[in-house]
Amino acid sequence: MNHDFLWGGATASYQCEGAWKEDDKVKSMWDHYLHEENLENGDIASDHYHRYEEDIRMMAEGGQNSYRFSLSWPRIIKNKEGDVNEKGIEFYHKILDTCKKYGIEPFVTIYHWDLPQYWEETGGWLNEEVCYAYQHYAKVCFDNFKDKITHWVTFNEPKWFICSGYLIGNYPPAHQNPQETIKAAFHVMYANALGVKAFREGNYPGNIGIVHSFTPVNGIDDTVETKIAMRYADNYCNNWILDTAAKGEIPIDLLTALSKIYDISFIKPKHLKTIKENTVDFLGLNYYSRTLVKPYTEGETVLIVNHKGKESKGESKVILKGWFEQVLHDPNMTYTEWDTEIYPKGLQEGLIEVYQRYHLPIYITENGVGVQEDVSVDQVQDDYRIAFMNDHINAIMNAMDEGVDVKGYYAWSSFDLYSWKNGCKKRYGLVAVDFEDNLKRKPKKSYYWYKEMIQNNGKT
Ligand code: BGP
């Protein structure tokens, strides 16, 4: 086994911990929003807060040597004044000590979407003050856990939570406002740089990166119009995060295009200087699928929904007038129950492209398939998940053969958990969690397959 390569699974605090009010944790924007809207929530989720020992032990028994999880801001920082909740700190020490006990390397995300509600009430990511609050929170994490964590991630998927929260409106704060989207997006990338700055200034051990929801862009043909649409789509899907975090530069053609329609005067030289001077050490790519596009010039449409709700099957695409239109449903391709195209080749091609562009080490920080499963059986026979992971891991190995520096792979998810807005019925886990029967854990067939694959160093 190649001991340097990290093989594991991933989770996120809100999606698995539960214990939403325990030990002085305050409300996150997700707690608030899902309760207000009366939607299925993560109050209990997989109850990882109480069952972490069993979960981490199962990771080790499944041959995994790493665990990607996130820290919860509302568990760690009590209020706008920045006071620390020692019980929150203690909880993550217990997780980290358990990882150590089982020989599991922690790979830790500082922010995976659970903004404290007390900050959301001041305007959330539209408020520049939140960027400095994030920096304070990140510093508290570095100071408290520096001896136990060496792989740090500033943010999980800025595109997904910003576009869903401010443009599409299906995630909290559920706005539909392009002007706000641009401002919130910018603030998150600025906060990313502030987090990196705090990390560098504190001289903490280890590395820091960002995790991006990576969708390589393909065009439907080779025409000039399609190539232009592809560039717009790449800016929308990838470059505003990757260029900004890795090179310290917001793509200039994106800024020019935006400034013709929107106000970007909130971007000041001091922000750009911080962004330029504080770039990341590595890139984490979450890969679920690609984006196939064609030009879109007609009609009045600014944007149409892009969400992963099952009800929207066949409609979950992005259209930006004058920029591009996402193409769905190529009859030759296969799609998941939730409308995601299965396209492993995109991972291989995308990895090569990203590595050529940024020359940074890459981790595949999420990859998996969401399915409705009957978990009352002794063992879920998830051959579809095995096939999915097998094909994507092969794609990674091929990219590595071509020289790409991939350092780890994380299945989404380590065990079944809460899927944003879909609730617990959309399952991704290697281990089944029976939400109807006492949250019992039972490894799926894929868990054993993954163990063997890890022992073979990624050869299947
Ligand atoms: C990514 C998120 C994860 C996870 C995953 C699956 O975008 O980082 O938190 O949820 O997607 O998505 P979903 O649960 O919406 O199917």
Report, as an integer, the average pLDDT of 23-44.
97
Tell whether ligand 1 has an atom less than 6 A from the beta carbon of residue 132: no
Per-residue confidence at 313, pLDDT binned at 50, 70, 90?
A: very low
Residue 221 and residue 307: Cα distance in Å, rounded?
26
Q: Which of 164, 412, 416 to mutate to test the pocket of ligand 1 (most atoms within 8 A of CB)?
A: 412
Report, as an integer, the average pLDDT of 333-344.
87
Strand partners, 364: 285, 409
Per-residue confidence at 241, pLDDT binned at 50, 70, 90?
A: very high
| Chain position carrying tokens 């089944």 | 432
The three-point CA angle 149-138-272 to 5° equals 120
Asked whether residue 46 carries a pLDDT value surpassing 70, the answer given is yes
- Tokens matching residue 61: 């028994």
Q: Where are the alpha helices (DSSP H) in 69-177?
A: 73-76, 86-101, 117-120, 128-145, 158-162
Tell whether ligand 1 has an atom less than 6 A from the beta carbon of residue 308: yes
pLDDT in tens, 177-186: 989 999 999 9
pTM value? 0.96
What is the C-alpha R_g of the chain?
21
pLDDT in tens, 379-400: 999 999 999 999 999 999 999 9
Sheet holding 324-326, edge to edge: 217-219, 291-294, 324-326, 319-320
Per-residue confidence at 170, pLDDT binned at 50, 70, 90?
A: confident
List all residues 6 or more positions away from 340 whose beta carbon is below 8 Å from its beta carbon. Answer: 288, 289, 308, 369, 370
Kind and range of the H or E element at 292? strand 291-294
Per-residue confidence at 2, pLDDT binned at 50, 70, 90?
A: low
Residue 115 and residue 430: Cα distance in Å, rounded?
28
Greater pLDDT, 299 or 150? 150
Residue 194 and residue 4: Cα distance in Å, rounded?
29
**Active site (catalytic) residues:** 157, 366
| Whole-complex ipTM | 0.99
Tell whether ligand 1 has an atom less than 6 A from the beta carbon of residue 289: no
CA of 196 to the centre of ligand 1 (A): 24
Per-residue confidence at 377, pLDDT binned at 50, 70, 90?
A: very high
What pLDDT sits at residue 398? 97
Tell whether ligand 1 has an atom less than 6 A from the beta carbon of residue 412: yes
Greater pLDDT, 408 or 164? 408
CA of 239 to the centre of ligand 1 (A): 20
Q: How many CB atoms lie within 10 A of CB 456?
A: 10
What pLDDT sits at residue 333? 84
What pLDDT sits at residue 302? 52
pLDDT in tens, 71-106: 999 999 999 999 999 999 999 999 999 999 999 999
Q: Supply the mean pLDDT for the chain.
A: 93
Contact between 165 and 171 (Cβ < 8 Å):
yes
Contact between 208 and 138 (Cβ < 8 Å):
no
Per-residue confidence at 338, pLDDT binned at 50, 70, 90?
A: confident
Kind and range of the H or E element at 316? none
